[in-house]
Each structure stands twice: as structure tokens, then as C-alpha cells.
């Protein structure tokens, strides 16, 4: 038996999307990431930072320091 492209053999829909929150301060985002937020990939994991945390840590972001150094 074959599956349709993009289908699932387990039935039902995919996992529920997690609500987006700033990886630094936890501020929630309603819906998709706002255009003012910064996205960073650290150790293969995508992390989003709100505009306030992004502004406060701009030099570290430009220096490509992982958020653990902030």
C-alpha cells in the first residue's frame, strides 16, 4: 500500500504548533513571528527573539555569539 504525497500513515493531522515565544524573555507572539523579531539558529535549533531582546543584545547578535553568551 502506498501513501499520497505529503500524507501520513498514522492518520489525523500533524502535531499541534507550539505558541511562539521569545527564547530570551518568554514574551508571546500572536500568530507567525512578527517582522520585528530576530531568528537565530543555534546548535541546529531555530530560536526567535522579540524586538526588545534583539535591540538590547544587538552587538552580541552581530558578533554571532550564541544567546547563552548574552
Report the chain's C-alpha Rg in angstroms.
17
Q: How far apart are the first and last CA of the chain?
A: 52
Q: What pLDDT sits at residue 54? A: 92
DSSP result, 4-59: -TT--TT-S--PPPPPPB-TTT--B-SSSPPTTSEEEEETTEEEEE-HHHHHHTHH
| Inter-CA distances, 16 with 12, 19, 25, Å | 11, 9, 23
Which residue ranges in the chain fall short of pLDDT 50?
1, 8, 16
**Mean of all residue pLDDT scores within the chain:** 80
Please tell me the pTM assigned to this model: 0.65
Amino acid at each position: 500500500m502506498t501513501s499520497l504525497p505529503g500524507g501520513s500513515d498514522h492518520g489525523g493531522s500533524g502535531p499541534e504548533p507550539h505558541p511562539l515565544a521569545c527564547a530570551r524573555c518568554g514574551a508571546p507572539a500572536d500568530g507567525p513571528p512578527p517582522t520585528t523579531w530576530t531568528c537565530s539558529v543555534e546548535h541546529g535549533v531555530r530560536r526567535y527573539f522579540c524586538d526588545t531582546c534583539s535591540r538590547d543584545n544587538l552587538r552580541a547578535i552581530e558578533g554571532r555569539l550564541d544567546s547563552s553568551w548574552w
